[in-house]
Chains A and B, each alone.
Chain A
Amino acid sequence: MLDQPAEGYVTADGRQIGPVVLELKNITLRFGGVEAIKNISFDIREGEIRAIIGPNGAGKSSMMNVISGFYVPQEGEILYKGYKRRKMPPYQVARTGIARTFQNIALFEGMSVLDNIMTGRMNLMKSGFLKQALWWGPASREEDEHREKVEKVIDFLEIQHIRKTPVARLPYGLKKRVELARALAAEPQILLLDEPMAGMNVEEKEDMSRFILDVNDEFGTTIVLIEHDMGVVMDLSDRVVVMDYGKKIGDGTPDEVRNNQDVIDAYLGVAHE
Chain B
Amino acid sequence: MLYREAGDFKTSYASDNQTFPIRFDRYAYWVVMAVAFLVLPMVMNDYWANSIVVPFMIYVIAALGLNILIGYTGLLSLGTAAFMAVGAYATFKLSTAFPAMPIYLVFILSGLVTSAVGVLFGLPSLKIKGFYLAVATLAAQFFLIWLFTRYGWFFNYSSTGQISMPERSMFGVTITGATASSTAVYFTCLIFTVAMAWLARNLTRGQMGRTWMAIRDMDIAAEIIGVNPLIAKLSSFAVSSFFVGVAGALMFGVYLGAVEAGEAFGINKSFLVLFMVIIGGLGSILGSFLGAAFLVVLPVLLKILLVDNLGWPADLARHLEIMIIGALIIIVLIAEPHGMAALWRTIKEKLRLWPFPH
Contact = CB atoms under 8 A, between A and B. Distances in A.
Interface of A: 68, 70, 89-91, 94-95, 99-100, 102, 106-111, 115, 118-120, 122-123, 125, 127, 129, 132-135, 139-140, 143-144, 147-148, 151, 182, 186
B217 A110 contact: yes
Interface string B208-244: 1011011011101111111111000001000000000
Interface string B1-39: 000000000001110010000000000000000000000
Interface of A is mostly: helix
B283 A119 contact: no
B207 interface: yes
Instruction: Enumerate the 8 nearest inter-chain pairs by beta-carbon distance, A residue then B residue, closest first.
Output: A94-B226, A106-B221, A108-B217, A135-B202, A147-B13, A123-B226, A144-B13, A132-B206
A148 B207 contact: no
A182 to B, nearest CB: 7
Contacts of A94: 224-226
Interface of B is mostly: helix
Contacts of B228: 89, 91
Given A108-B218, A111-B210, 9 more contacts: A70-B220, A91-B229, A102-B221, A109-B217, A110-B217, A110-B283, A129-B235, A133-B203, A143-B13
Contacts of B202: 132-135, 139
Contact of B213 (A90, A99, A111, A129): A111
B208 A68 contact: no
Given A106-B220, A133-B199, A144-B14, A122 B206 contact: no
A144 B12 CA distance: 9
B75 to A, nearest CB: 14
A127 B206 contact: yes
Contacts of B14: 140, 144
Interface string B307-349: 0000000000000000000000000000000000000000000
B235 A108 contact: no
10 contacts: A91-B229, A106-B224, A108-B214, A109-B218, A119-B211, A133-B203, A135-B206, A143-B17, A143-B206, A151-B13
A110 B213 contact: yes
A107 B224 CA distance: 12
Contacts of B224: 68, 70, 90-91, 94, 100, 102, 106
Contact of B225 (A99, A143, A144, A148): A99
A100 B220 CA distance: 12
Contacts of A143: 13, 17, 206-207
A136 to B, nearest CB: 9
A58 to B, nearest CB: 21
Nearest to A168: B217
Interface in B193-208: 199, 202-203, 205-208
A134 B13 CA distance: 18
Most buried by B among A94, A100, A102, A107: A94
A135 B209 CA distance: 13
B207 A125 contact: yes
Contacts of B210: 111, 115, 118-119, 122
Given A91-B229, A119-B225, A129-B208, A144 B218 contact: no
B205 to A, nearest CB: 8
Contact of B207 (A68, A132, A186): A132
Contacts of B206: 127, 132, 135, 139, 143
Given A115-B213, A119-B214, A122-B226, A108 B208 contact: no
